[in-house]
């Protein structure tokens, strides 16, 4: 054991001693050509039409919207799905296909939540879409969806580069310039302390959803970060921002084959699961196992022998400490025939040196293996399930998962067709409120409700990057320290995992911070102004306005009564039909009521 402790040093010594080797020929080429055809506008309608059996007339002609009366539409039914929103002028720039979403403009949906089965609020189709696809939705986003139409807005989100995002771009340029740098650029920018990027990443992940217009891309970054999880603690602090940028964000709406290969050739993952120690002289199985168990096919589909072979395939993929990038360390690749499930490869040695691979065969084997796993049916089902669990419910139907997995495979692992199929599925339309928010979504709610436009953190990141900020603290206290889940399997995404005393109590307490504007990064607002509550307004109308503006749900009168009572009489007596919001109540009680709404179970429904 002790001798093995020294092998990494020897490896790096070898690495350092071979200055003439081009470290990254093959992977660089493959990741460089990563643009996913399915993400382009021209390819999208064709693949959608072919692979969406649930929507046979997927490329229907745009028709004038026949909006049903907003207040009477019941929960969506199969017959209510065909109304097509009118394309707005802003979508014509990239000629997004108009897709037949099952949701119609202004449609009222009945929301229900298995975690809180006694609640039966209603919501609008736009709010449902916003709560599902965005991490921190607010009325501004809902208005944007209304203006564009649900379908065109969704199509635009699938092409995030076409969505103007000036507010976030300015904030990123000012406060987060490190986050899109390579590690070697970070080394220079941080005064040779690239690990400073780690808390800055956490802060960015906490606040970016408040400002960005590319909300679906951000949601997908979060989704992939849990699928291929790299913690930002410990040894990883200098690598995680690069992983976030060059792997998760770059491929968020691309192909899983590209995402997986990019992850396997990124120093963060290689360091996280010790693949820098995985050499022909002594394989380390950490990455080889998790690649099968967590990232692709899942447990139960491979043998221990497969794990050994998986690890052998991954030998010789390491880190170049000169460039701080991936290294194709072919000289430490273990050769000889390998077999993992149905994948087999002769994995031959170089014809010049029977002891080593070549850079080309090393890279080709990794790519072939990575693609095999990404395209595997079991992988398709796991990716499909993760997407369905994120955007539909904790218990998506087998039919939905099968359908999404089919689409995934028919489109060679492209994610956009999968999302489109999901969005068009009846289960999505019928899923309002089914999800229970994670702390990021819940704690971000009140800040989002202020519609923040500026970001002015109390510390300059160049001077003091160490604190990820008050909002992040509140998210962390409630159990979701961003990219700090202690195990390798990423944060869970089902309600059961987030129902705990610590999470609930800290979630309730976090709302105090957000209501009181303890986070100096955001502008304070007068809550009554932000919500449009005026003195003299009927308390029931004010209660409805506040509840709906903050949560997007229309509450039943039994629960509006709490808010109305507080506004009318500080909760001392029930509100009457004629009570109005006094000037004092507007000033003193409205903020309290904001917190009350944020502490209610409606605030957790998604």
Partner 1 sequence: MTLPRPTLRDHDALLHEDLVTPMHTHRDADSRLRVETPDGPRYVHAHEVDRLVAPQRPRTEVPDCEHVDGGPRRLSRRHVIQGASAGFGALLAAGAQPRYAFAAPQPAGSPAATATQRDLLVVVFLRGGMDGISAVAPINDPAYQAARGKTAVTAETSIPLDDTFALNKNLAAFQPLWDAKQLAIVHGAGSTTLKRSHFEDMNTVEQAAPAAMRSGWLGRHLQSSASTQGTFRAITIGNRAVLSLSTTAFETLATSTLDTFKVNGWNGDKSTDIMVSMVEKMFADAGGRAAAQCRQTMQAVAGLADVRAVPGDKYVPANGAVYPDTTFGYGLRDVARLAKAGKGLEVACVDLGDWDMHKGLGSPAVTTDWFSRKSIDLSTSIAAFAQDLGPMWARTTVVTMSEFGRRVQTNADLGVDHGHGNVMFVAGGGINGGQVYGSVPSLTPGNLVLGDVPVTTDYRQVLAEILTRRLLNADLATVLPGFTPGPALGIA
Binders of partner 1 among residues 191 to 210 (CB under 8 A) are: 192-196, 198-199, 202
d(CA 500, CA 565): 30
Is there a contact between 581 and 531 (Cβ–Cβ < 8 Å)?
A: no
CB-based contacts of 516: which residues, under 8 Å, 6+ apart?
Answer: 591
- How near is the Cβ of 88 to partner 1 at its closest, in Å? 37
Backbone angles phi, psi at 318, to 5 degrees: -140, -160
Q: How far is the CB of 469 from partner 1 (least distance, A)?
A: 9
Footprint (CB under 8 A) of partner 1, residues 11-40: 12-13, 16-17
- Cβ(511)–Cβ(551) below 8 Å: no
**Are 207 and 455 spatial neighbours (Cβ–Cβ below 8 Å)?**
yes
Distance, CA of 204 to CA of 214 (rounded, Å): 14
Buried b (16+ CB within 10 A) or exposed e, 361-380: bbbbbbbebbbbbbbbebbb
> Given the complex with partner 1, which of 130 and 605 has the nearer CB atom?
605
Task: Please identify, using beta-carbon distances, which residue of 343 and 459 lies nearer to partner 1.
Answer: 459
Among residues 578, 571, 580, 591, which one has the least CA distance to residue 529?
A: 591
Q: Indicate the DSSP class of residue 340.
A: E
Residues 496-535 that bind partner 1 (CB under 8 A): 496, 499-502, 504-506, 508-509, 512-513, 518-519
Query: In sequence order, what are the beta bridge partners of 109?
Result: 123
Q: In what helix (H) or strand (E) does residue 568 lie, and over which residues does it extend?
A: helix 557-569
Give, as ranges, the residues between 352 and 381 that touch partner 1 (CB under 8 A).
none
Alpha helices by DSSP H, listed for 273-358, are 286-290, 304-313
Give the DSSP H or E segment for 110: strand 108-110
Task: Please identify, using beta-carbon distances, which residue of 56 and 486 lies nearer to partner 1.
Answer: 486
383 vs 495, beta carbon nearer partner 1: 495
Q: For residues 323 and 402, which CB has a smaller minimum distance to partner 1 in the complex?
A: 323
- For partner 1, the closer CB: 403 or 437: 437
3-state secondary structure of 255: strand
Give the range of 38-46, 464-472, 522-530, 535-543 binding partner 1 by CB under 8 A.
464-472
**Residue from 86, 88, 185, 402 in contact with partner 1 (CB under 8 A):** 185
> Pick from 458, 532, 536, 574: which binds partner 1 (CB under 8 A)?
458
Query: Min. distance of Cβ 560 from partner 1 in angstroms?
Result: 11
Is residue 119 at the binding interface for partner 1, with CB under 8 A as the rule?
A: yes
Minimum distance, C-beta of residue 477 to partner 1, in the bound complex (Å): 5
Of residues 187, 364, 525, 530, which one binds partner 1 by CB under 8 A? 187
Residue 477 contacts partner 1 per CB under 8 A: yes
Binding map of partner 1 across residues 99-118, x = CB under 8 A, - = no contact: --------------xxxxxx
Binding partner 1 (rule: CB under 8 A), the pick from 473, 527, 528, 581 is 473
Between 239 and 372, name the residue whose CB sits nearer to partner 1.
239
Of 559, 535, 528, 527, nearest to 447 (Cα)? Answer: 527
- In 10 A of CB 305, how many CB atoms? 10
Site for partner 1 in 279-298 (CB under 8 A): 286
Pick the closer one to partner 1 by CB: 326 or 566: 566
- The DSSP bridge pattern shows strands 553-554 and 122-124 to be antiparallel
99 neighbors 48 (Cβ within 8 angstroms): yes
Q: Which of residues 230-289 bind partner 1 (CB under 8 A)?
A: 231, 233-235, 237-238, 286
For position 343 contacting partner 1 by CB under 8 A, the verdict is no
Per CB under 8 A, contacts with partner 1 among 303-322 are 321-322
Q: How far is the CB of 599 from partner 1 (least distance, A)?
A: 5
* Element spanning 481, H or E: none
Choose which of 76, 433, 481, 552 interacts with partner 1 (CB under 8 A).
Answer: 481
Task: Give the DSSP H/E element, type plus range, for residue 547.
Answer: helix 539-551
Determine which residue in the list 59, 60, 184, 402 makes contact with partner 1, applying CB under 8 A. Answer: 184
Instruction: Scan residues 387-446 and list those touching partner 1 (CB under 8 A).
Output: 436
Q: Which residues within the stretch 51-110 sit at the binding site for partner 1 (CB under 8 A)?
A: none
Among 226, 378, 402, 459, binds partner 1 (CB under 8 A): 459
Q: Residues 566 to 605: which contact partner 1 by CB under 8 A? A: 566, 570-571, 592, 595-596, 599-602, 604
Closer residue to partner 1 (CB): 147 or 496: 496
Distance CA 225, CA 243 (A): 9
- Give the rounded distance of the alpha carbon of 378 from its chain centre: 22
Least distance from partner 1 to the Cβ atom of residue 263, Å:
19
For partner 1, the closer CB: 367 or 442: 442
Query: At 46, is the secondary structure helix, strand, or coil?
Result: helix
Query: Closest separation between CB of residue 588 and partner 1, Å?
Result: 9
Q: Which is nearer to partner 1, 149 or 479 (CB)?
A: 479
Question: Per-residue x/- marks for partner 1, 157-176, CB under 8 A?
Answer: --------------------
Of the pair 12, 94, the CB lying nearest partner 1 is at: 12
Pairing of strands 108-110, 122-124: antiparallel
Pick 101 or 477: Cβ nearer partner 1? 477
* Angle at which helices 215-227 and 150-157 cross, to 10°: 50
Span from 8-16, 384-392, 409-417, 443-451 in contact with partner 1 (CB under 8 A) = 8-16
DSSP 588: I
Planar angle of CA 345, 350, 355, nearest 5 degrees:
100
Neighbour count for residue 356 (Cβ, 10 Å)? 19
With CB under 8 A, what is the number of residues at the site for partner 1? 90
Distance CA 568, CA 52 (A): 53
**Locate tokens 């987060």: which residue?**
176
């Amino acid at each position: 054991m002790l001798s093995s402790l020294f092998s990494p040093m020897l490896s790096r010594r070898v690495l350092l001693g071979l200055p003439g080797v081009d470290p990254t020929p093959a992977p660089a080429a493959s990741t460089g050509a990563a643009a996913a055809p399915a993400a382009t506008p021209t390819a999208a309608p064709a693949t959608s039409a072919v692979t969406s059996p649930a929507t046979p007339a997927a490329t229907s002609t745009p028709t004038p919207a026949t909006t049903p009366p907003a207040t009477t539409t019941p929960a969506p039914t199969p017959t209510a799905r065909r109304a097509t929103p009118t394309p707005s002028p802003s979508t014509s720039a990239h000629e997004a296909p108009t897709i037949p979403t099952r949701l119609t403009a202004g449609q009222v949906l009945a929301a229900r939540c298995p975690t809180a089965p006694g609640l039966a609020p209603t919501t609008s189709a736009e709010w449902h879409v916003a709560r599902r696809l965005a991490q921190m939705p607010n009325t501004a986003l809902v208005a944007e969806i209304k203006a564009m139409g649900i379908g065109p807005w969704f199509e635009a989100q699938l092409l995030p580069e076409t969505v103007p995002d000036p507010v976030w771009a300015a904030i990123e340029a000012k406060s987060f310039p490190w986050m899109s740098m390579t590690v070697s650029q970070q080394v220079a920018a941080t005064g040779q302390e690239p690990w400073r990027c780690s808390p800055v990443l956490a802060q960015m992940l906490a606040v970016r959803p408040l400002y960005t217009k590319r909300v679906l891309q951000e949601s997908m970054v979060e989704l992939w970060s849990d699928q291929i999880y790299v913690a930002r603690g410990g040894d990883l602090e200098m690598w995680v921002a690069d992983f976030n940028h060059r792997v998760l964000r770059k491929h968020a709406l691309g192909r899983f084959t590209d995402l997986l290969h990019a992850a396997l050739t990124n120093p963060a993952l290689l360091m996280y699961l010790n693949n820098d120690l995985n050499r022909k002289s002594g394989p380390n199985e950490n990455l080889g196992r998790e690649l099968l168990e967590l990232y692709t096919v899942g447990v139960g589909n491979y043998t221990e022998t497969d794990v050994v072979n998986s690890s052998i395939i991954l030998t010789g993929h390491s880190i170049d400490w000169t460039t701080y990038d991936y290294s194709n360390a072919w000289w430490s690749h273990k050769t000889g025939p390998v077999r993992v499930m149905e994948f087999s490869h002769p994995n031959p040695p170089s014809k010049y040196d029977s002891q080593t691979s070549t850079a080309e065969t090393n890279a080709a084997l990794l790519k072939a293996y990575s693609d095999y796993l990404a395209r595997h049916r079991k992988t398709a089902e796991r990716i499909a399930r993760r997407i369905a669990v994120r955007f539909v419910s904790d218990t998506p139907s087998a039919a939905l998962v099968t359908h999404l997995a089919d689409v995934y495979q028919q489109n060679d692992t492209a994610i956009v067709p999968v999302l489109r199929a999901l969005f068009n599925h009846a289960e999505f339309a019928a899923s309002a409120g089914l999800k229970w928010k994670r702390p990021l979504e819940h704690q971000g709610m009140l800040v989002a409700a202020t519609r923040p436009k500026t970001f002015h953190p109390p510390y300059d990141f160049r001077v003091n990057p160490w604190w990820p900020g008050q909002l992040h603290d509140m998210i962390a206290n409630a159990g979701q320290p961003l990219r700090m889940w202690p195990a390798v399997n990423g944060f869970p995404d089902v309600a059961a995992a987030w129902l705990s005393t610590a999470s609930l109590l800290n979630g309730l307490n976090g709302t105090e911070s957000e209501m009181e504007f303890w986070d100096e990064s955001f502008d304070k607002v007068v809550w009554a102004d932000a919500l449009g509550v005026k003195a003299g307004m009927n308390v029931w109308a004010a209660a409805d306005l506040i509840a709906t503006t903050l949560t997007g749900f229309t509450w039943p009168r039994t629960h509006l009564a709490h808010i109305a009572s507080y506004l009318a009489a500080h909760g001392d007596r029930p509100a009457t039909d004629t009570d109005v919001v006094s000037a004092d109540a507007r000033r003193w009680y409205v903020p309290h009521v904001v917190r009350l709404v944020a502490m209610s179970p409606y605030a957790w429904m998604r």
